[in-house]
Amino acid sequence: MRKLVFAFMANFLLPYLLIAQNTKAKTITSASPVGHSIEIVLKPYQNTKVYIGTNYGKNRVLADSALLNEKSEGVFKSKTKLTPGIYFLVSPKYSILFDFLVDESQHFKIIADTLSINAFQIIGSKENDIFKAYSKSINDLGIQLTSLENKYKTATNAKDSASFKELYLTKDKELKAARTTVINTYPKSMTSFLLNVMQRPEAPAIPSVNGKLDSLYPYYYVKNHFWDNVVFNDNRLIRTPFFEDKLDEYFKNYVAREPDSIIDELQYILTVAKTGKEIYPFLLFKFTNKYIAPEFMGQEKVFIHLFQNFFAKGDTVLLNEASKKSITERAYSMMANQLGLAAPSLIINTPENKKVSLYDQKAPYTLLAFWDPICSHCKIEIPRLDSFYKASWENLQVKIFSVNTNAKELAAWKTFIQENHLENWTHAYQTEEDLNKEIKAGLPTTIRQKYDVFKTPTFYLLDADKKIIAKNLSLEQFNDFLQNANNKSAPKK
């Protein structure tokens, strides 16, 4: 039996979201209208609660509970319908016993015994008859495929290896044929829907066009057919364990990393999904969480697009006030410091409390470093930054403009600078007095907001005109960027 692990999205929006099915059992009178009524007999459990669960993307959630009587009988019942999809029966100790389907017709009976759990029955559900028959045939083929794969890996000679490979390919064709048979025989069934979601198109052979091989054709063929027979407003998609994985695979392998390419894909998917009551918020928040702290430089533009075209146009109704404030502030912070824009002005104080301006730093490149002298990660990264600087960046005429983000730790800041010999840098901080003046004057942003400093250290690389040319990279990546930029600008011999 699989142990049910309740995994949840680890991101700042989670506390403000409640999209999953209600997990509490409900008491319904016989006169109440019934949305779902699933009878259950689960031996040998008596006088205890059992549950049905489902997926919410990659995560698992409980959908309903039922109290078993002394005869091991109970009923999952509510006037609210369950969202159709794959569900699973869960024991009192939260172990997953087996999967079953819930379609629009949500009145059937489950009979099972934990002593012979694979012999469970579902009565009154044609969808589950199809699903169970398919699962049995596919499980048998799966066992054979696994066995042949192991034999292929452990084969001791080329003849056996070739034989096992041929047998494997034959069984794999049988597996695909079994899927095709179900899809063709029961095209409107839930099982066919699930198989269509799971399928990946097979790459065709590379064709020859005018005597030249078109090596990109297989890639574009797979990309263009990746979502055949899948419509993004279908709420059933998130009640499967494999849709989100397929979505991640698509964006990883078939969508370019450039923000505009990602935006085109998201705009289409979210526009189609908008009529899906559950799938739309799921996708919107998934993409928001992914691109609010993107993996690759410049992809913050995707989050800003989501904010401007969805949240700012009314979709903040999906958020409570705290979340709405958080996401709005973050969007406006990001807007001010995009790649290619001029860096926001900084006129702040040196350790000796003399005013210094970022724009007075004349150099081909300026590395802008925001850090906190008591931040443990900063204590590691700032000396590493100095090592890169002394090793090669100083020779490349890079200047370091270092900003202390913690005005309450001036003594610790000055001590750290001295002990780590951070010479030839410009060190500065904003006094609390100047910060309060900005706030009182109604200026829209603080330094943290201007530069989206939600973690420390945060680094920006500016060109001679103080335009942002790189941000949020590792020090190694900044070094590669500078070395490549220097090589390109060096005169050719």
140-161 pLDDT, tens digit per residue, is 888 888 998 898 888 888 888 8
> What is residue 249's predicted lDDT score, i.e. its pLDDT?
96
Residue 9 has pLDDT above 50, yes or no: no
Of 332, 148, 142, residue with least CA distance to 324: 332
Separation between Cα atoms, residue 425 and residue 335, nearest integer Å:
28
Q: d(Cα 57, Cα 9) in Å, to the nearest integer?
A: 10
Confirm if 481 and 470 have CB atoms less than 8 A apart.
Answer: yes
Identity (one letter) of the amino acid at 208? S
**3-class DSSP state for residue 369?**
strand
Give percent above pLDDT 70 in the chain.
91
Q: Are 108 and 128 in contact (CB under 8 A)?
A: yes
Q: Write down the residue that tokens 């489950």 correspond to.
A: 110
Residue 247: its pLDDT value, please? 97
Look at 177-181, 241-245, 417-421 and tell me which has the smallest mean pLDDT. 177-181
Quote the longest CA-to-CA distance of the chain. Answer: 90
The DSSP symbol for 393 reads I
Q: Given this model, what pLDDT does residue 33 score?
A: 54
The whole-angstrom distance between residue 159's C-alpha and the CA centroid of its chain comes to 45
Check pLDDT > 90 for residue 1: no
User: Mean per-residue pLDDT for 218-231?
Assistant: 95
Cα–Cα nearest to 40, from 94, 101, 102, 89: 89
Crossing angle of the two packed helices 190-198 and 126-154, in degrees rounded to 10: 30
Q: Does 116 score more than 60 pLDDT?
A: yes
- 354-398 pLDDT, tens digit per residue, is 999 999 999 999 999 999 999 999 999 999 999 999 999 999 999
Q: Is 216 helix (H, G, I), strand (E, B) or coil?
A: coil
d(CA 280, CA 141): 36
User: How wide is the angle at C-alpha 161 spanned by C-alphas 160 and 166, nearest 5°?
Assistant: 95
143 DSSP 8-state letter: H
228-262: b (≥16 Cβ within 10 Å) or e: eebebbbbbbbbbbbbbebbeebbeeeeeeebeeb
Q: What is the mean pLDDT of residues 297-318?
A: 86
Q: How far apart are the first and last CA of the chain?
A: 69
| Residue percentage of the chain with pLDDT more than 90 | 67
Residue with more model confidence, 137 or 258: 258
Give the whole-angstrom CA distance, residue 190 versus residue 106.
13
Q: Per-residue pLDDT averaged across 9-37, rounded?
A: 43
Q: What is the pLDDT of residue 30?
A: 41
Which of these, 363, 355, 428, lies nearest to 399 by C-alpha position? 363
Q: What is the pLDDT of residues 459-488, one digit of tens each?
A: 999 999 999 999 989 999 999 999 988 877
Q: pTM, whole model, 2 decimals?
A: 0.79
Residue 31 has pLDDT above 50, yes or no: no
